[in-house]
Structure 1
Amino acid sequence: MKNKNYPEPNQNLDFAKMEEEILRFWQEEKIFEKSVEIRNFNPDLSDDNISPVLENCALKDHTHCRHEARSTLKQVQRRLHEARQEFVFYDGPPFANGLPHYGHLLTGFIKDLVARYQTMKGKKVERRFGWDTHGLPVEMETEKELDVSGQLAIQQFGIEKFNSACQSSVMKYASEWEHYVTRQGRFVDFKNSYKTMDVSYMESVIWAFKQLFDKGLLYEDFRVVPYSWACQTPLSNFETRMDNSYRQKASKAVTVKFELEKSPFREKTFLLAWTTTPWTLPSNLALAVGKNIDYAALKKGEEILILAESLIEKFAKDLGNFQKVSTVKGSDLVGLKYKPLFPYLIEKTKNSFVVLHGDFVSTEEGTGIVHLAPGFGEDDQLLCKANEIPTLCPVDEGGKFTSEIFDLYPIQLKKPIYDEAFLRKNCDPVDAQRDKTECGLYQVIQPNSPSKFLPKRRSQKSASSAGLGINHPSDANASPSLFFKEGSASFEKGGGANAPEDFSSQSLSLKSRQVFDTNDDIIRYLKSTGVWLKTEQYLHNYPHCWRTDTPLIYKAVSSWYVKVTDIKDRMVELNQQINWIPSHIRDGQFGKWLEGARDWSITRNRFWGCPVPVWKSESGKIKVFGSIAELEKISGKKIENLHRPFIDEIVFEENGEEFKRVTDVLDCWFESGSMPYAQIHYPFENKEWFEENFPADFITEYIAQTRGWFYTLMVLSTALFDRAPFKNVICHGTILDENSQKLSKRLKNYADPLTIFSTFGSDAMRFYMISQPVMRGQELRIDKEGKAIRDVLRIAIKPLVNAFNFFCMYANADGILAKKIELKRQFNNTLDRYILSKLKSTVEGIDKAMINYDTVTACEEFNQFFEALNNWYIRRNRQRFWKSEIDEDKQNAYDVLYTILLTMCEAAAPLLPFTTEFVWRSLSFEARK
């Protein structure tokens, strides 16, 4: 009876079941923990306690460690320590209030394979998991659970209760995450995971804020920023560029007429302006032209209309019959005053309703004249501010008009008492008499100022066809209309029997309405007042909230900013030191983004987050704190929680002034960008280790993080340490379904990853993903049934298992105990020499690819080798294995195949950790013993 030295071959191997058995082995033997511990240098380690460690060294990160066990553990440790062989990578924190998707899994596969590879190279690689626990995703989820919405509702509910609910829900799916991550074969330290809500983490974050403040890189300003009215918070400009947050949106673009106060012509003169946001017109405070642009004055009926000369053709159909009167430069229009379209903001500014020069004005679209609402446009605000026009923003946190945009509605006067002196002065007797006897008087007034209203003079006969318009008290002296003193007439809202047909078109109620819902009413009103020219559908890419998918607005808010513009040149320089995969990202997507970097709004008017460590007095004095010790000293209190509302309770006096904390919290991107030092509580702990091991050796995320986490890491690292935050980075692409749609739980267009794991195994998914162009920043399409993953199992993984089964079957039949040979050994058999040469070049190719973070090439090398092994070497060597006598030639054949399998398992372990572990442990005499 011949000895069977190897497992019985299994032609129907259940890969999922096999992986689960390997997983249990790793967990029971604490393989990951040992792969880290064995690389900790212990100068007190004696020879007596080396053996137990070596016995438990059947590691996957394993084989290299086992190979080096030939020398003493103490020597290995000392060599690693002296060479400072620590490989640092940053595990970007996901939100734990949602389940992982394919994108998370791909990122996880990459992190794991790089860490495994570096561990097998003898380096110590700690893999501490992290959780992003603050920010909008958590707050929005909690709002749904509590059925509260909006800042006022949360404040009424109670900030303490709300934040407590956030804290309870934030780790809702932590156990599921751990299951997914573990099942995919990742070696991860969950026990020592960091959370952005940890007090130690938050203390490092406020330290970073204080450092930036002391360096003069922070300032507070009231500026226009992207704003999510659904989440009631501003967003960073880079957040609008992530995750394809731009969507095609059909907007109603409107062209309106602004009447000049003093017409240079006999006729009334109007400037034509075009906007895709009609809801901003009530907040108009100025117009902008290009001083070098040619503008044409066109006579249409009894009006003169002015627009860019090059755009006349575009409006020819809408203008109908017109005659070009003259051409002027934009510089000739600068300084002209015009009449406001609406009465809302007239009394709030003295320098408004004027034509300005703007460098941003072009003739590519619109009319060549830009309407400016400084509360809702970045360019608008900058230009208006330069001309001493204030930033007025009559829209609240929820994107609704405030009471400044009061209701406008028609009034029917009852039994009017006329001011005869005014009539005699301003109206001829015939007109006055006719108005007194025939006119049905209607007018739009300011309901919040009932002592000042101005009825328009009109006749009932023309009421159905003529617009009523708006008159404002400031127009009284110049108006030919009838003037009524306070209390001289009673009035009612509505119409009455004699109301004109267009009476209802004169009412305009915007207050407390969401701005996007008011566009149609504003356009209707503009038509009724005679200043509307054209409405058109305009299809454009428009930014949406990354969390709620609702269209953003641009809105002026108060926020703290990082002066990114002060350090962007340095960031561009440091970026050249980073090895980007794919390489074009360095000077392309990321490099260009850095070149155009703008100051970063880092504060949010929300509740669940790291507090802005700023205290203010009523006189505007500021105190900034960067540690718990400083806060405890100034407050005299023990501080154990930095969250609201506890941090808000710190109030102190200094030089007779009371200081209270500003209510904002920090942008969660500021927190995640602080991860390198905050996760280890730097500088309060681990100072020496951080300064020796910063920057990280490696980092990976999907490509949109060039505008997200990679960017915030770069900003803070440059500002705080004048260093790039990482040395090597893989930017993988996005994963879509087979129809190129984004993977969506709602659409149910992708299979649960756990289903794939239980059907084909994790290795199949891993190898499929890391062998695709998605690793080079391109898109990856996954079919719902996982057919492509199944094909990888057949094409890439089974060839290894088939070669293993072939070896086991014939080695057991012959009672052979194979031994691993040196690759440099010379063989007489040509096929042996060929396959060993190919093995050597393949191992070198895989190693070179892995050094260069090129998993696609590594996978290609693996596939090509097993194609040659199975279809060339084994097929043409069958007679050597089949012959009955066990001679040197036959032993050589077994030794060569045995060596190939072990060597390829070691080389490909990061690519196929479960399968290579299974084969290696099945073949390795030491492992089986």
Structure 2
Amino acid sequence: MESGGTLLDELRRWEEYVLNYWKDKGIYEKAKERAKGSLFRFLDGPPYPTGPIHIGTSWNKIMKDVILRFRRMMGYKVIDNPGYDMHGLPIEVQVEKKLGFRRKSDIMNFGVDKFIEECKKLAYANSEIQTRQFMRLGVWMNWSRTYYTAENSYVEGVWWAIKRMHELGRLYRGWKVLGWCARCQTVLAQHEYEYKIKTSPSLYFKVRLKDEEDTYIIVWTTTPWTIIGNMAIALNPVEDYVKVRVGHEVWILSKYQYEQGLLKELEVGEYRVLETIKGSQLDGVRYVHPLLEEVPVHKKLEEEYQRCHTVIMSEEYVRVEEGTGCLHVAPSFGPEDYDLGRRYSLPMLQFVDEEGKFMEEGGYFKGMITDEASREVLRILDEKGLLIKAGTIQHEYPHCWRCKTPLIFRLTRQWFFKVSDLRSLLVEEAKKTEWVPSWAKNMFLEWLNNIEDWCISRQRFWGTPLPIWVCEKCGDYLVVGSIEELEKLSGTSITDVHRPSIDMVTIRCRRCGGTMRRVPDVIDVWVDSGSATWAVLPKVMGIKDFSKWDTLDFIIEGKDQIRGWFSALFVLAVTLFRKIPFKIVYMHGFITDEKGRAMHKSLGNVIYPEEVVEKYCAEALRLYQVSSTSPGEDQRFGFELLKPAITSLLVAINTYNFLKQLSLYVKPKAENLRPEDRWLLSRVNTLTEELTSHLLSYELPEYARKLYEFIVEDVSHFYIQLIRDRVKDVEESGKVLHTLTYVLEKVNRLMAPLNPMLAEKLYLDVIRPLTGDATESIHLKEWPKVDKELVDKDLESLIEKAREVIKVVKRIRQEQGIKIRWPCIAVYVDHEELKPLADLLTRACNVKKVYFTSPPAAPSVKVSETAFCKVGLDVSETLELRAERLVRDLSRHIRATRKKMKLRPIDLIKVVVACSEEHEKLLRIAMDELKRRAGASEVIIVRELKMEEKSGEVEFEGRRIAYRVIKG
């Protein structure tokens, strides 16, 4: 391990060295070849290559890498091909930003072919950038066989699935009210809604009953523009409603809202209840549409549709706890409204076009976007005296998952997978899967239990083309399942399956001989990634038959994938094959900053993995991201939060450095080991068993935390501190060398999945030379096994008790202002079971004697307790103790000076000490101890040293003592 710069700078250089070592020696390929066990089927949830990776992406990939490395060391043949989700709005929106486009027409004017080419270039360029970034983090995957969802072989897998759906009778085209992004001008499915807080209008207005003079139903809405498409008002038939006299008018609202003080909230003056009725008593009552004059089509609709502009009933959708208990129903603008519209045969009109503008049917509002129309509706209602109160409300509202525009809901004709009738099957099959954390499974079951038919068509450009050709003449359609099939049907050679070239491919209609053209839509990107189970087979396994897929052993993604990738994989596999696509799912959370806020450029709190690598190192990022957060929970991230992980890494490096230095001067000795030696040999095997169990159970944070707790607390802070004096004896240091070599070799392998670059460097620099192992890489070694003959649970338990006593003694020292390195007279331990560890306790507590009796009631004995015994520390002072304490302080500083002078432990020195007469007496008492501890052949005591002669100073009992170190 080279010197120069800080240890952290050195670690960063080691990472680069190791990455090059792996590449030059082909270590990854050799690790793959070494695996002779059964297959471990893993599928990489493909990220969108929209730009450089972010902290959330690194967290995801690092945890995948830990599991895959562990499985390789266990001997499994790991399927570890990475993937990239190349299509869809994520890429399109980035290209639109780059080109300065604001609407869909800009793309049409630019040229679809050129736009597609830009999308393709961006996606592939960014995937290369992300690959380099993942590799810099030490992530091992089969990068030479990455799968891309835009490749022809993958697209065929998606087409194959769609054709199978068609053959099963589960592909259909129909009308439905769905979320629509007016900016992207495409429909979105439920799993693509991103809910964010939105400020919306809060509008209370009244609707006059047609046949009852001055009688009004009170209605509330947050979307005034939808009143343009109002076709009915729904009440709950079993709930109570009140007729209230307000001035010369009668208002109708739910009794519940009346009793909750709604009229006071609406700032109504005097009022009184006339009568209470059931909602069912108003069934069929007609009302006057509040915008009848502005939207003339309503007059015609009222004549043609019996229940148009009437009160209808719904127990399912009308909740008296919301609004006024009277629901405004616009079947073209809401999923629930649409359902009610179908039940009551209400008119369904497409009032709004793809840009979110009102069309001819909107009458006065024609050409207005929805927000503009809302403002006009408010103005008109106010002028007509129908507006009661207008304000705003903050509520969760669905936005476009990519461009973040608030969605509108509109009636649209799309292609669907029929899956809602399979809810019970999906839930039962999902019960066969395992989830980490376990509570995530309930979230998934809940999602599946409410799943709707899947809208798979999108009105965009860069995506897998929907493989449906429709006859221009007779309307017949066919679904194509492969490129080969399309070539046979069209007589055309297909090289690129994307738009616009695929749009030029025509087929002769089998029914009427007319021309069949492809529908212009592309496919929902979640159908792309959801088909990955089989679509990757040609690239990953060289298998062309998509039906030959097998259930995955393990997948891992974020909690947003409950309704995203997890759902897509599951719904497609179970619908098509009645077979679960995965056995075990690990679900992690989202990334936030230190304060728990989402990371946004506007907040200035975004941190990229590259910044962490440049400022600290990749291994610090790996350790923190794996160890800091429980499954399913959000991870707080910031540079300050990384510091404990950095400290742990540096402790690990220093621990291996200690072993390396020790090995230069002694030979290992395995006989007559001390209790702490045998304890550490037992502990590392117990740890091996625990960490293996954690990794097999996908308990990643527990694995990482326990590993470094062992390195830092057990090995460094306890064992190495305990044996500091022992290593000055040749025979004892041989025992320590034997113990640490065994332990740290095992730890080296346990560390390999988590910190693979550091583990490799420690192996190459320390473990391999020390053990004579010829293996090229730590990653070509097996996962360690448990040496059961070395496990001593009784000893582990006993030393754990001893450590509790030691902690209490340290606490008493701290309270009394006595340094840990200062010896004390005695410790009293009221627990005879610890007698076999008397020597260990003497050294660890830094006392002259340990008594296994109750602490005496003396002023100098300070008492505290553990969970199992009383502990007393005698804090009285003697001349000898003062002398020894001075020697401890002085020798500590001298050793630090020796280190700066780069002296070896065997190099003797001369020391000149400048001190008072009183302190000279103390040094004379403990002169031999000072020489031993300082590695000095001679110590000369003077009263004064010139400033230029001083090597250093130490403060003792309020006075400064100077010293000079002379080599030789």
- The two structures have a TM-score, normalised by structure 1, of 0.78
Q: Could you say which residue in structure 1 is the equivalent of 2:22?
A: 26
| 1:167 CA drift (Å) | 1.4
* 8 Å contact kept, 2:201–2:391: yes
1 CA distance for matches of 2:727 and 2:5?
A: 19
CA distance in structure 1 between the partners assigned to 2:301 and 2:105 by the alignment: 27
- 1:804-833 Cα deviation digits (max 9, x unpaired): 11111121134x4x59x8xxxx85432221
Counterpart of 1:478 in structure 2 is none
Matches of residues 252-263 of structure 1 in structure 2 within 5 Å?
A: 252-263=201-212
Do the aligned partners of 1:736 and 1:781 also contact (CA within 8 Å) in 2?
yes
1:131-210 maps to which residues of 2 (within 5 A)?
131-210=84-163
> Residue type of the partner of 1:235?
L
Find the counterpart in structure 1 of residue 351 from structure 2.
Answer: 394
Distance 1:881 1:8 in 2: 24
Native 8 Å contact 1:9 1:806 kept in 2 = no
Map 1:161-560 to 2 at 5 A.
161-240=114-193, 245-263=194-212, 267-312=213-258, 313-316=261-264, 318-343=267-292, 344=295, 345-346=297-298, 347-348=300-301, 350-351=304-305, 352-359=308-315, 360-407=317-364, 510-560=365-415
Equivalent of residue 593 in structure 2, options 722, 737, 740: 737
* SS of 1:340 mapped into structure 2: coil
Matches within 5 A, 1:684-723: 686=543, 691=548, 694-723=550-579
Counterpart CA distance in 2 for 1:534 and 1:678 is 56
SS at match of 1:523: helix
SS at structure 1 position matched to 2:79: coil
Which amino acid in the other structure matches residue 189 of structure 2?
A: S
- 1:558 is paired with a residue whose SS is strand
Instruction: Give, in whole Å, the separation in 2 of the partners of 1:800 and 1:791.
Output: 12
- Contact 1:204-1:681 at 8 Å conserved across structures: no
Corresponding position of 2:510: 654
Partners of 2:707 and 2:751 within 8 A in 1: yes
1:91/1:699 contact within 8 Å kept: yes
Whether 1:581 and 2:527 are equivalent positions in the alignment is no
Residues 812 and 759 of structure 1: CA distance in aligned 2, closer, same or farther (over 3 Å): farther
Distance change in 2, residues 1:10/1:608 (3 Å):
closer
Separation of aligned partners in 2, 1:624 and 1:253: 46
Q: Name the structure 1 match of 2:650.
A: 798
Query: Residue 221 of structure 2 aligns to which amino acid in structure 1?
Result: T
Structure 1's unaligned 5+ residue stretches are 1-5, 40-76, 408-509
- Cα 1:828/1:892, change in 2 over 3 Å: closer
Aligned residues: 756
Alpha-carbon distance in structure 2 between the residues aligned to 1:398 and 1:86:
50
Decide whether the 8 Å contact of 1:203 with 1:681 is kept in 2: no
Contact 2:707–2:750 (CA<8 Å) still a contact in 1? no
**What residue is the counterpart of 2:642 in the other structure?**
789
Q: Equivalent residue of 1:749, what SS? A: coil
- 1:629 corresponds to which of 484, 501, 518: 484
Query: Contact 1:86–1:123 (CA<8 Å) still a contact in 2?
Result: yes
Q: Relative to structure 1, is the Cα distance of residues 575 and 208 closer, same or farther in structure 2, using a 3 angstrom cutoff?
A: same
Report if the CA contact (8 A) 1:603-1:664 is conserved.
Answer: yes
Matched position secondary structure for 2:397: strand
Quick one: higher RCO (CA 8 Å, sep 6+), 1 or 2?
1
Structure-2 separation of matches of 1:167 and 1:872: 57
Of 3, 9, 12 in structure 1, the residue corresponding to residue 7 of structure 2 is: 12
Q: Which residue of 2 aligns with 1:90?
A: 43
Question: Counterpart of 2:498 in structure 1: which amino acid?
Answer: H
Offset at residue 685 of structure 1 (A): 5.7
Matches within 5 A, 1:633-648: 633-648=488-503
Residues 599 and 255 of structure 1: is their aligned pair in 2 closer, same or farther, counting only changes over 3 Å? same
Name the counterpart of 1:69: none
In the alignment, the residues of structure 2 paired with residue 875 and residue 254 of structure 1 have an alpha-carbon distance, to the nearest angstrom, of 72
The correspondence for 1:672, drawn from 529, 532, 550, is 529
Identity of aligned residues (%): 32
Q: Structure 1 residue 677: deviation in Å?
A: 1.0
Taking the aligned partners of 2:126 and 2:82, their CA distance within structure 1 comes to 14
Q: Is the 8 A contact 2:7 2:650 kept in 1?
A: no
**Inter-CA distance 22–779: structure 2 relative to 1 (3 Å threshold):** same
For 1:23 and 1:575, locate their aligned partners in 2 and report how far apart those are by CA, in whole Å: 40
For residues 186 and 697 of structure 1, what CA distance do their matches in structure 2 show? 20
- Inter-CA distance 689–627: structure 2 relative to 1 (3 Å threshold): closer
Residue in 1 that maps onto 2:835 = none
Query: What SS does the corresponding residue of 2:658 show, helix, strand or coil?
Result: helix
* Residues in 2 aligned to 1:762 and 1:219: alpha-carbon distance in whole angstroms: 49
Distance 1:299 1:231 in 2: 48
CA shift for structure 1 position 381: 0.8
Change (3 A) 1:538 1:759: closer
RMSD: 2.3
Cα offset, 1:275, TM superposition: 1.0
Q: 1:619–1:655: structure 2 CA closer, same or farther, 3 Å change rule? A: closer
Deviation at 1:305, TM superposition (A): 2.2
Query: Is the contact between residue 242 and residue 274 of structure 2 (CA under 8 Å) also seen in structure 1?
Result: yes
- Amino acid aligned to 2:773: E
Q: 1:602 aligns with which of 432, 451, 456?
A: 456
The answer on whether the counterparts of 2:147 and 2:539 sit within 8 Å (CA) in structure 1 is: no
Indicate if the aligned counterparts of 1:7 and 1:808 stay in contact, CA closer than 8 A: no
Query: Shift of residue 593 of structure 1?
Result: 1.2
Residue identity in the other structure for 1:710: F
* Shift in Å, 1:233: 1.2
Cα separation, 2, equivalents of 1:648 and 1:579: 43
**Other-structure match for 2:685:** 840
Shift in Å at residue 623 of structure 1? 1.2
Q: Secondary structure at the match of 1:364?
A: coil
Contact 1:289/1:357 (<8 A) preserved:
yes
Per the alignment, do residues 905 and 581 of structure 1 end up closer, same or farther by CA in structure 2, a change over 3 Å counting? same
Q: Is the 8 A contact 2:589 2:635 kept in 1?
A: yes
Give 1:766 shift: 0.8
Per-residue deviation, residues 238-291 of structure 1 (Å, max 9, x unmatched): 222xxxx3222222221222222222xxx3322221111101111111111111
1:199 shift after superposition: 0.9
Is the Cα–Cα contact under 8 Å of residues 97 and 172 in structure 1 kept in the other structure?
A: no
- After superposition, the C-alpha distances for 1:315-373 in whole angstroms (9 at most, x for unaligned) are 24544333433332211211122222224232256211111112211211222211111
CA–CA separation in structure 2 for the residues paired with 1:597 and 1:852: 30
C-alpha deviation, 1:600, in angstroms? 1.5
2:351 is aligned with what amino acid?
P
The separation in 2 between residues aligned to 1:566 and 1:928, in whole angstroms, is 57
Using the alignment, how far apart are the partners of 2:113 and 2:368 within structure 1? 30
The separation in 1 between residues aligned to 2:107 and 2:6, in whole angstroms, is 61
Q: Report the equivalent of 2:52.
A: 99
Specify whether residues 11 and 239 from structure 1 end up closer, same or farther in structure 2 by C-alpha distance, changes over 3 A only. closer
TM-superposed CA distance for 1:9, in Å, is: 12
| Structure 2 unmatched ranges of 5 or more | 777-968
Find out whether 1:37 has 2:33 as its counterpart.
yes
